[in-house]
Amino acid sequence: MKNFIAIILCLGAFQSIGGLEKPFVLVMPSYNDRDWHEMSFDSVFHQKYENYRVICVADGPTDGSEKLIEEYVKENHLENRFTLLKNKTRNGPLACICQAVHLCNKNEIVIDLDNNDWLAHDEVLSYLNQVYQDPDVWMTYGQFIYYPNYRKGFASELPLGVVEQNSFRSLGGVITLPRTFYAGLFQEINKEDFFYDKQFIQKAGDLAYSIPISEMAGKHIKFIPPILYVYNNSHPLNENKNPGNLEEKMDRFIRSKKKYSPLAELPSFEPPSVYSEIEDPLHPSLHDYRMIQRYLSQDKRENIERLGDMTSVVKGMKIIGNTPDELPRSGIVPVNCDENDKENCILIYATFNRGYPKGLKRLLGHIVDSDFKGHVLYRLGGWPDTEGGSLSLAHVPYAFKACFFKEAQRLGYKRVLWLDTSVVPLVSLNEIFKMIEEKGCFVMGNTRMVGPYTNPPAAAYFGLTHQQTNQVPSCSAGLFGVDLTQAKGRLIADWWYRAAYDKDAYFSPRSDQNVLSLILYQLGISDFVPMERMPHSREEIKPDSLFWLDREFVWW
């Protein structure tokens, strides 16, 4: 490797210059790369840089490489820097890129790196960080070298006229590797543009996102002449070794789509205008909540029609009551511990609908009188995590659950369990928290699949077609826990929360449980507790029952 790096440095002059470390995410699709994954990962994890992470997508491999990737991560203690997503079947590079980039924050810089290629030397990230110190740089592309003959690639700077006229779709060739860009640009692409005949585009898929990003970035694109990327031309699955009519057809199809307009500034989250009228979003007043409540009850929310039979339920949710006495309130109740205990935390949230306030009082009383050791965070109305900036998600259906987990995480709790007010514990909750600690999460299954309750754009957020979601088992979002001291638990909670910022992910008939179920599916988590262990009536309770669902407190 040292000799190889020396060759690269001779081909392209390089000088490392310090600066504030920008956040990079290396997105690495992987399919049958068992002979190359170690070389690829070594080139990443030997970087002389700290502020980066990796999202690798094992795209239904058949050569055992998924297990080898897991072993590499474990042996090198990379769990806190590495996320592995697991596709049950091969979905293609574009689907992998889609599911990974939507897991990024908008301000993170994505580096597109196939798991059979590798970075040219150990200061690639430092060099890119230097480039991105310029706020006018939103996207880069550059020079590469072929392996095994070390021949220099064909990259060259874009003609000025292409940028000025926004004519990227008529430009021959591609935006070459290494491609880097702010994740927010990718997240602006209409998810429908990734599809052909209801399937993710399988050939020339890099054009489906590199062209729109180029069009949006416009004059903020920078060409990088030094060699930063090694293209493994010996891999038998490389597209340029297997060209065909399908690739040409997809190339024409992508270029025929409507072009995107250049953006005046980098994308950021833009909540509905109602939030702009709130003077202090971190500490909303009763007047603010009333204003939000009026907005939520209307038909003006974007994509509200996608909620199907849940539309009226979502519109009818009351985060404030009907009388002056029904004000939002919250609290922290230590149970069998002191106020500084941060080990275990139960979350209970109730709107002012029907019997939910009564259910909250009943459940809280049950927990206080039990042997549970830990804290209870409860909220009646209002919105969780306002001090963390989550009020701007109040228009997202059922996002209050993910926001409450975010609040518990911000307050420093280690293990967190959500209990709907309709749930009645039948065993010691300390036992449930032991299960959370042992497995990293506690998931109650149900008898449905996600597909019938998921819209295509929501499925695409996770790199899946709508048809594929028919094979995804649904879980309960009314009874769910994570261990935030474990990388897996943190990832689940963070992803559940981050998805609420997407315009599509939560807008399906079963919003919160669909998103949670798809996250667990992508992480390969399927050992759900059977729904039979939470009967829906007293008469169905058995010796091994953990909870029962009291229908008296279910609003819809």
Domain-wise residue ranges, the chain? 2-12+22-255, 329-553
Q: With a cut of 50, say whether residue 10 has pLDDT above it.
A: no
- Check: CB of residue 115 under 8 Å from CB of residue 56: yes
Q: Do domains 2-12+22-255 and 329-553 have the same CATH topology?
A: yes
With cut-offs at 50, 70 and 90, classify the pLDDT of residue 242.
low
Beta strands 118-119 and 221-232, pairing class: antiparallel
What is the pLDDT, as a whole number, of residue 419? 98
pLDDT tens digits for 397-433?
999 999 999 999 999 999 999 999 999 999 999 999 9
Average pLDDT over residues 436-452: 96
- Check: CB of residue 450 under 8 Å from CB of residue 522: no
With cut-offs at 50, 70 and 90, classify the pLDDT of residue 556.
low
Average pLDDT over residues 93-113: 98
Q: With a cut of 70, say whether residue 18 has pLDDT above it.
A: no
What is the pLDDT, as a whole number, of residue 241? 54
Count Cβ atoms within 10 A of the Cβ of residue 245 and give its class: 0-12 exposed, 13-18 middle, 19 or more buried.
exposed
Q: With a cut of 60, say whether residue 1 has pLDDT above it.
A: no
Beta strands 441-449 and 473-483, pairing class: antiparallel
Q: With a cut of 90, say whether residue 198 has pLDDT above it.
A: yes
| Topology annotation, domain 2-12+22-255 | Spore Coat Polysaccharide Biosynthesis Protein SpsA; Chain A (3.90.550)
Q: With a cut of 60, say whether residue 529 has pLDDT above it.
A: yes
What is the pLDDT, as a whole number, of residue 186? 99
Neighbours of 255 (CB within 10 A): 15
Task: Report, at the CATH architecture level, how domain 329-553 is classified.
Answer: Alpha-Beta Complex (3.90)
What is the pLDDT, as a whole number, of residue 504? 96
Report for 136-150, 166-180, 230-244, 300-314: range of highest mean pLDDT: 136-150
Q: With a cut of 50, say whether residue 477 has pLDDT above it.
A: yes
Which residue in 105, 83, 201, 183 sits closest to 465, CA to CA? 201
What is the pLDDT, as a whole number, of residue 142? 95
Question: Residue for token digits 């409450």?
Answer: 404
Q: With a cut of 90, say whether residue 6 has pLDDT above it.
A: no
- Separation between Cα atoms, residue 257 and residue 193, nearest integer Å: 8
What is the pLDDT, as a whole number, of residue 554? 64
What is the pLDDT, as a whole number, of residue 9? 45
Average pLDDT over residues 322-351: 94
Q: With a cut of 70, say whether residue 555 has pLDDT above it.
A: no
pTM of the model: 0.93
The number of C-alpha atoms within 13 Å of 387 and in the hemisphere containing its C-beta is 5
What is the pLDDT, as a whole number, of residue 12? 45
With cut-offs at 50, 70 and 90, classify the pLDDT of residue 13.
very low
How many percent of the chain have pLDDT more than 70? 94
What is the pLDDT, as a whole number, of residue 172? 79
13 against 320, higher pLDDT: 320
The DSSP output letter for 440 is: S
Q: With a cut of 60, say whether residue 161 has pLDDT above it.
A: yes
What is the pLDDT, as a whole number, of residue 2? 43
Instruction: Give 161's contacts (C-beta < 8 A, 6+ positions apart).
Output: 167
Q: What torsion, rounded to 10 degrees, do the Cα atoms 115, 116, 117, 121 define? A: 80
Q: At what angle do helices 400-410 and 487-498 cross, to 10 degrees?
A: 130
How many percent of the chain have pLDDT more than 90? 88
- Separation between Cα atoms, residue 167 and residue 215, nearest integer Å: 8
- Check: CB of residue 397 under 8 Å from CB of residue 303: no
Mean pLDDT of all residues in the chain? 93
What is the pLDDT, as a whole number, of residue 240? 59
